[in-house]
Amino acid sequence: MGYWIAIFLMALGWGVDRYKLYGLIAGYNTMSKEEKAKVRIEDVARLMRNTFFGIGAVLIFVEYFGADLGLEGYRSMLQSLVVVVGVIVMLIQSNGERYKK
């Protein structure tokens, strides 16, 4: 199950960055044109891609090596934690001054 979620997140991040699917970014599609002009959307999309690739890589690592590391009972909890923490970090970073013009 973790493999499919990882692949989905990686494809989502890649699609937003490569194919400019900016409407999938929470809050961006509801901004006015003036507000959108203040956002460096290419950098936000790159951050989203990198974060989702990182989350996906960790999910695949946990799924593949989880049994060897003795994480059989904690695999689902660990994967959920990785996704939640990754998304929170991405949201905090994307709302920072670095991504504003």
- 32-64 per-position pLDDT tens digit: 999 999 999 999 999 999 999 999 999 999 888
Task: Tell me the three state secondary structure of residue 35.
Answer: helix
Token duo for residue 86: 């990754």
pTM for this one? Answer: 0.89
The pLDDT, as a whole number, for residue 62 is: 87
The pLDDT, as a whole number, for residue 44 is: 96
Please give the residue range of the domain that contains residue 45.
2-99
Total domains in the chain come to: 1
pLDDT mean over 3-22: 95
Task: Tell me the three state secondary structure of residue 42.
Answer: helix
The pLDDT, as a whole number, for residue 70 is: 82
